[in-house]
Amino acid sequence: MTQAQQDIERGVMNKVAWRILPFVTLGYFLASLDRVNIAFAALQMKSDIALSDAAFGFGAGLFFIAYCIFAVPANMLLERFGPVRWLALTMVSWGLVSSCMAAVSGPYSFYILRFLLGVTEAGFFPGVIYYLTLWFPSGHRSRAVAILMIALPLSSVLGSPLSAMLLLLDGWFGMRGWHWLFIIEGSPAIFLGIAALWVLPHSVSRASFLTEGDKTWLSGQVEKVPTEKTRASFSDIWKLFCNKYVLALTLIYIGGTSVTNGLSLWQPQIISTFNLTTMQIGFLNSIPFAFASVAMYFWSSHSDKTGERVMHLAIPLAVGAVALTSIIFVNALIPTIIILCIAISAASMIKGPFWALATEMIPARNTAMAIALINALNNLGVFAGTYLIGIIKGHTGSFTYALIPYLAISVVACSLTLWLGHRRQASPRIR
């Protein structure tokens, strides 16, 4: 590639990145915040509405069951109505449901609203991943996804102290702190969803911030949008569901997301066992996710720079498994925080390389459906892990052994990554 070509590429991708990534990353930040803010709300809410550990784990996990059920249908609608309009609708919908969590009055209303939150949010993340494939060529995709995924740890870095402070509003206008937490943290998604219709460009050809030369270059680099004739059917979905490589990719992804999602929901309660104040819990909870934000970006950038994906998945999964094994043998605050930093950072580091690998392996016409399917099946694993923590904690009275399910899936995911890397040498794309 000549210097002139490199300059064109750099200029176009900088324009695209600055226009799209801040907005969708903010959206994903709010999605993650509204998904996991029950972790702090639970410090007050569990006693108010009589939630046991098992009931909390089940209700928290119902989000992922709904997500699993509705992710694929949501993305069929995404292809029909267009990603921008669909993403706007999902943001407004989940913002309303998240705000309504303030009205929870018992276990059943908790279950219902958590399930509805999963329904309304199901189309957002796979929709954004699909949207990014329309704007970012393969060589830029891992970094783009990594920037998006930074929203996950950042939602805990910034959201933890924010949620802790909102709990201190307890008694304000006759409402509990956790009521204010849901109302204040849920409502911004509504306004962002409305703004999406004007901020996010609908297609390369309609992007007013690009010159005609920019549009020509970018259109030649990204894969074509599936047309009506090539949209995935239910037959395509079934073939993907039965494909061993898609299932392997799903289990690999579970190895990372089960750890990050599970600890996002349970970590404040783990830290609270050391008899700390609400604000101390808030700040300590943010530390592992701060490390994860930095590690995720640099690891994904290195993956893009080298073009290597497999070992960029296997190494963090192995490190995470070691960290999760170590936590069984510690019972002091500082070692626990250090191990949580390693475990969450390792699990977060796989996400950029994973989606880069997945979108490189999946045929273009099935990209949206495969992303939705992987994300949907992944959420079954996240639900199982979240619920198991509650059951194990309820039976043992401590979190010492509650993270063992995450250790097991990390080992499985690492092994499957190495197997997939070996098989990929013979067949670069899923057939």
Q: What is the pLDDT of residues 280-324, one digit of tens each?
A: 998 998 999 889 888 988 898 888 888 899 999 999 999 999 998
At the topology level, CATH places domain 7-424 in: Growth Hormone; Chain: A; (1.20.1250)
Backbone angles phi, psi at 330, to 5 degrees: -120, 150
Residue 171 has a pLDDT of 82
Which pair of tokens denotes residue 237? Answer: 């979905």
Q: What is the dihedral of CA 419, 421, 426, 431, to 10 degrees?
A: 90
Q: Is the pLDDT of residue 230 over 60?
A: no
CA-closest candidate to residue 264, choices 178, 345, 153, 162: 153
> Which range, of 110-114, 324-328, 372-376, averages the lowest pLDDT?
372-376
Contact 380, 261 (CB under 8 A): no
Asked if 84 contacts 200 with a C-beta cutoff of 8 angstroms, the reply is yes
Q: Which of 74-88, 104-118, 228-242, 341-355 has the lowest mean pLDDT?
A: 228-242
Q: Which residue has the higher pLDDT, 237 or 183?
A: 183
The Cα–Cα gap between 96 and 117 comes to 9
Rounded to 10 deg, the angle between the 151-167 and 177-186 helix axes is 140
Residue owning tokens 């706007």: 88
Domain boundaries, the chain: 7-424
**Residue 343's CB: how many other CB atoms inside 10 A?**
28
Q: Which long-range contacts does 46-52 make (Cβ < 8 Å, 24+ apart)? A: 48/176, 48/178, 49/104, 49/105, 49/106, 49/107, 49/110, 50/106, 50/107, 51/107, 51/110, 52/390, 52/394
pLDDT of amino acid 236: 65
Where are the alpha helices (H) located in 37-176, listed in sequence order?
Answer: 38-48, 53-81, 83-100, 107-121, 124-133, 138-149, 151-167
Secondary structure letter of residue 398 according to DSSP: S
Confidence (pLDDT) at 431:
55
Question: Token pair of 280, please?
Answer: 């101390």
The residue type found at 262 is: G
Backbone phi and psi for residue 282, each to the nearest 5 degrees, phi listed first:
-60, -45
Whole-number Cα distances in Å, 330 to 244, 264, 335, 338: 38, 20, 7, 11
pLDDT classification of 237: cutoffs 50, 70, 90 = low
Global pTM reads: 0.73
For all residues of the chain together, what is the average pLDDT? 85
- Of residues 413 and 129, the one with the higher pLDDT is 413
Mean pLDDT computed over 225-241: 56
pLDDT at 428: 58
279's torsion region: left (phi>0), alpha (psi -120 to 50) or beta?
Answer: alpha
Residue 210 has pLDDT above 90, yes or no: no
SS3 label, residue 50:
coil
Contacts for 355 with CB less than 8 Å, ≥ 6 apart: 129, 141, 142, 145, 371
Dmax (CA) of the chain: 66
Contact 306, 297 (CB under 8 A): no
Q: For residue 187, name the pLDDT band (cuts at 50, 70, 90).
A: very high
pLDDT over 70 at 429, yes or no: no
pLDDT in tens, 159-178: 888 998 999 998 888 899 99
**Would you call 224 helix, strand, or coil by DSSP?**
coil
pLDDT cut 90: percent of the chain above it: 32
* pLDDT value of position 410: 92
Residue 228 has pLDDT above 50, yes or no: no
pLDDT of 139 above 90: no
The yes-or-no verdict on residue 217 having pLDDT over 90 is no
- What integer pLDDT is reported at residue 1 of this predicted model? 59
Mean pLDDT of 188-205: 92
| Structure tokens belonging to residue 385 | 């892990």
Mean pLDDT, range 79-97, rounded to an integer: 90
Collect all residues with Cβ–Cβ distance below 8 Å to 337 and sequence separation of at least 6: 271, 284, 287, 288
In a 3-state reduction of DSSP, which class is residue 250? helix
| Residue 227 pLDDT exceeds 60 | no
Q: What is the percentage of the chain residues whose pLDDT exceeds 70?
A: 93
Q: Which residues contact 192 (CB under 8 A, 6 or more apart)?
A: 23, 26, 27, 30, 91, 95
Residue (of 358, 394, 393, 349) closest to 378 by Cα position: 358
Q: Quick check: 131 pLDDT over 60?
A: yes
Tally of CA atoms within 13 A in the half-sphere of 18 that contains its CB? 7
Nearest residue to 198 via CA among 94, 79, 98, 87 = 87
| pLDDT at 368 (0 to 100) | 66
For 233-241, what is the mean pLDDT?
A: 67
